């Protein structure tokens, strides 16, 4: 089986990435063989199209309602034929894998398309392409086209497998608003060494960039009656933080996990700002406080906390409820905190609640009542024994987010990386306001916190006949209350994309659908059960209309009649 051509073609237009991976394979044996197509794609992406073509006959993947597709193919599954085609691979990626049997001398083409909105983190957008052909490929090529009307501020490529020879196969052409990155290594350049027919291409190919930002009220882009508004202020004073770390030291954290937690906390302590206040609560079946109140992050207090962190050891059960309620109480009783400051609780746990209150619904309810919208709760789940669903619901119900920390060598870096994302809040209570009667299907437009280096994205559909789109942003900064105003000329904005050859015409509409689906799914996690159904119904409609494989749809992969039918590509979620 010979992959004679592999092409990754990625077009990023105003953060929205559309990636097409095409693999052409020939069976050079004199009997039929199995050809396998594997793609590792970002978890944040939605698959939108797949087909295979065998000797010119096309077998498309069909996107259907998940429940209906599973029912239809239950028979195939019960005969033990089918496991899903997509599974979670690691922290950032999932794996799509399909195999088909092809006759001697036959050719097959596989093509997969997926889309995602690149999310700004720590000041940059990252496009991650996984490269793992497992053999030398005669025609191998990666093309990345980027078009950012705001202008490209910086652009870099990075790869885990580059050598000097391979660098020669990499070209980068860039002007004010566009970039084209091409990577086209010859067979010789792909070899580990001239004698061995083994490939060097195994790992990540990453493009990172950021855009220029002039306008204070962000940047508005419009195509075919849909708008997207990007807002990412910078160089603003940072809010002082009042942060309590609630750390699990139950028996299951023993060994490497508690070591990695200690390493991460020591680094995080160094990153606290002098005007921050902080505290530690640790828990097993018993709850212990480092100090009974919040302390300012003076050198002395940070050193004392570091000594305390060094002594963390793990044994006993898991009383998440008492520990969190204690944290909320400490924040509530704190005195002499800076008037304008941001209070947050960061929970790190690796297990289910086993001591104290163990009913997750009761815990969720009690915590939400106690926090009452005053503080943000961030939940970090270490490994796969946690109930991620529980942590995610608790975080999203209390203005925070959940993240799974993978039990890998870089766990301490994962923890630190998370902290860096939330370490610099620069705005709170952000309201993005648009004329009510002129916009339909507006995505989320109120945000509790904005962190330096991230970006707020709002999208919607503009009513016909609107010439000017006025926007107003209200927010609180550390020093003042802000009101920012901007007016977008609809026709002028539409013009920007008119002459761009490689842009698919309705990309802002697809971006709007992608963002709406992601937000509805997130909303459903913390919604009461009766609302969940309605939110999921909306997700299903949009997923089918725009053909996205989301947690509510499945792609049915069709194959030649003599081969196993009823394989489904589903979207795996972190909560399983």
- The tally of domains found in the chain comes to 2
Out of 372, 390, 422, pick the residue that ends a domain. 422
Dihedral sign for Cα 366, 370, 374, 375, please.
negative
Residues 301 and 161 in one domain: no
Check whether residue 246 and residue 206 sit in a common domain.
no
Same domain, 24 and 76: yes
**Does 284 fall in a domain?**
yes
- For 35, residues 6+ apart whose C-beta sits below 8 A from its C-beta are 1, 25, 27, 99, 100, 101, 102, 108
pLDDT for the residue 458: 98
Residue 189 and residue 101 in one domain: yes
Residues 199, 253 within the same domain:
no
Q: How far is CA 212 from CA 119, 220, 231, 462, 487, in A?
A: 16, 13, 12, 25, 19
Give the pLDDT of residue 238.
95
Mention every residue, 6+ apart, whose C-beta is less than 8 A from residue 250.
283, 284, 285, 314, 315, 316, 317, 318, 350, 351, 354
- How many Å separate Cα 511 from the centre of its chain? 15
Would residue 574 count as lying in a domain?
Answer: no
The label of the residue with tokens 């509530």 reads: 332
Domain annotation covers residue 413: yes
Helical H runs in 73-215? Answer: 74-78, 164-167, 187-190
Spatial CB neighbours of 565, under 8 Å, sequence gap ≥ 6: 73, 76, 558, 559
Which DSSP helix (H) or strand (E) runs through 192? none
Residue 2 and residue 28: Cα distance in Å, rounded? 7
Q: pLDDT for 511-528, tens place per residue?
A: 999 999 999 999 999 999
If 0-12 CB within 10 Å is exposed, 13-18 middle and 19+ buried, where does residue 31 land?
A: exposed
Structural domain includes residue 82: yes
Whether 511 is covered by a domain: the verdict is no
Q: Tell me the CATH number at 253.
A: 3.40.50.410
CA angle (38, 39, 43) in 5-degree steps: 140
Query: Same structural domain for residues 18 and 148?
Result: yes
Residue 264 and residue 189 share a domain: no
pLDDT in the model for residue 522: 95
Half-sphere exposure of 66 (CA within 13 A, CB side): 17
In 3D, which of 139, 189, 130 has the Cα closest to residue 2? 139
Q: Please count the residues of the chain.
A: 576
150 and 255: one domain? no
Residues 249 and 187 in one domain: no
Inside any domain, residue 268? yes
Query: Is 566 among the domain residues?
Result: no
Tell whether 190 and 257 lie within a shared domain.
no
User: In terms of domains, do 208 and 333 share one?
Assistant: no
Query: Between the CA atoms of 433, 434, 437 and 443, what dihedral angle is there, to the nearest 10 degrees?
Result: -80
Q: What is the domain extent for residue 377?
A: 242-422
Q: Are residues 255 and 323 in the same domain?
A: yes
* pLDDT reported for residue 74: 65
The predicted-structure confidence for 296-331, as pLDDT tens digits, reads as follows 999 999 999 999 999 999 999 999 999 999 999 999
Q: What is the pLDDT of residue 75?
A: 54
Does residue 70 fall inside a structural domain? yes
- Lookup: tokens for 152: 């490209």
- Of 370, 394, 422, the one marking the end of a domain is 422
Question: Of the candidates 373, 403, 422, which is a domain's last residue?
Answer: 422
Q: Tokens 């496009």 — which residue? A: 127
Q: In what order do the strands lie in the sheet with 33-42?
A: 33-42, 93-102, 86-88
**What are the pLDDT tens digits along the chain (576 aa)?**
999 999 999 999 999 999 999 999 999 999 999 999 999 999 999 999 999 999 999 999 999 999 888 887 765 544 444 457 898 888 899 999 999 999 999 999 999 999 999 999 999 999 999 999 999 999 999 999 999 999 999 999 999 999 988 999 999 999 999 999 999 999 999 999 888 899 999 999 999 999 999 878 999 999 999 999 999 998 899 999 999 999 999 999 999 999 999 999 999 999 999 999 999 999 999 999 999 999 999 999 999 999 999 999 999 999 999 999 999 999 999 988 888 999 999 999 998 999 999 999 999 999 999 999 999 999 999 999 999 999 999 999 999 999 999 999 999 999 999 999 999 999 999 999 999 889 999 999 999 999 999 999 999 999 888 999 999 999 999 999 999 999 999 999 988 887 776 566 689 999 999 999 999 999 999 999 899 999 999 999 999 999 999 999 999 998 888 887 778 899 998 886
Q: Give the C-alpha separation, 361 to 523, whole Å.
A: 17
CATH number where 170 lies:
2.60.40
Distance CA 286, CA 288 (A): 7
Q: What is the pLDDT of residue 81?
A: 46
């Amino acid at each position: 089986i010979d992959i004679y051509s592999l092409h990754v073609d990625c077009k990023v237009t105003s953060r929205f990435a559309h990636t097409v991976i095409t693999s052409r394979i020939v069976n050079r044996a004199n009997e039929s063989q199995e050809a396998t197509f594997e793609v590792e794609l970002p978890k944040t992406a939605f698959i939108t199209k797949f087909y295979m073509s065998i000797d010119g006959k096309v077998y498309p993947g069909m996107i259907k309602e998940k429940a209906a597709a599973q029912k239809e193919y239950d028979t195939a599954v019960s005969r033990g034929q089918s496991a899903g085609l997509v599974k979670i691979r690691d922290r950032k990626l999932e794996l799509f894998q399909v195999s088909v049997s092809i006759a001697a001398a036959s050719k097959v083409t596989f093509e997969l398309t997926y889309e995602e909105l690149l999310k700004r983190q720590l000041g940059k957008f990252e496009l991650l392409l996984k490269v793992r052909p497992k053999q030398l490929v005669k025609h191998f090529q990666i093309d990345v086209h980027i078009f950012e009307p705001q202008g490209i501020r910086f652009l870099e490529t990075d790869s885990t497998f580059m050598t000097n020879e391979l660098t020669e196969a990499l070209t980068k052409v860039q002007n004010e608003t566009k970039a084209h990155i091409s990577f086209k290594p010859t067979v010789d350049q792909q070899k580990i060494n001239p004698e061995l027919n083994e490939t060097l291409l195994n790992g990540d190919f990453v493009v990172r960039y950021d855009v220029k930002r002039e306008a204070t009220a962000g940047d508005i882009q419009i195509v075919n009656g849909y708008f997207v508004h990007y807002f990412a202020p910078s160089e603003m004073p940072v809010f002082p933080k009042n942060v309590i770390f609630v750390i699990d030291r139950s028996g299951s954290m023993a060994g490497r996990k508690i070591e990695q937690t200690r390493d991460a906390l020591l680094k995080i302590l160094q990153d606290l700002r002098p005007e921050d206040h902080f505290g530690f609560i640790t828990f097993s079946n018993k709850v212990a406080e480092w100090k009974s109140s919040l302390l300012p992050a003076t050198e002395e207090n940070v050193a004392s906390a570091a000594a305390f962190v060094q002594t963390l050891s793990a044994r006993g059960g898991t009383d998440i409820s008492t520990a969190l309620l204690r944290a909320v109480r400490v924040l509530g009783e704190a005195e002499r905190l800076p008037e304008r400051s941001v209070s947050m609780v960061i929970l790190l746990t690796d297990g289910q609640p086993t001591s104290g209150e163990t009913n997750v619904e009761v815990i969720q309810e009690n915590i939400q009542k106690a926090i009452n919208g005053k503080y943000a709760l961030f939940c970090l789940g270490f490994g796969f024994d946690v109930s991620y669903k529980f942590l995610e619901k608790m975080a999203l119900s209390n203005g925070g987010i959940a993240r799974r920390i993978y039990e890998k060598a870089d766990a301490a870096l994962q923890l630190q990386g998370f902290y860096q994302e939330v370490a610099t809040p620069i705005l709170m209570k952000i309201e993005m306001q648009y004329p009510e009667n002129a916009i339909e299907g507006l995505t989320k437009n109120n945000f509790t916190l904005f962190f330096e280096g991230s970006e707020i994205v709002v999208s919607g559909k503009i009513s016909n006949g609107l010439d000017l789109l006025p926007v107003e942003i209200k927010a609180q900064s550390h020093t003042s209350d802000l009101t920012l105003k901007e007016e977008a000329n609809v026709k002028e904005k539409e013009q920007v994309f008119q002459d761009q050859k490689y842009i698919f015409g309705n990309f802002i509409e697809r971006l709007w659908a992608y963002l709406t689906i992601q937000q509805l799914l997130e909303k459903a996690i913390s919604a009461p059960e009766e609302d969940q159904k309605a939110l999921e119904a909306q997700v299903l409609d949009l997923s089918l209309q725009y053909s996205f494989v989301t947690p509510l749809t499945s792609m049915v992969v069709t194959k030649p009649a003599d081969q196993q039918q009823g394989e489904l590509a589903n979207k795996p979620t972190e909560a399983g």
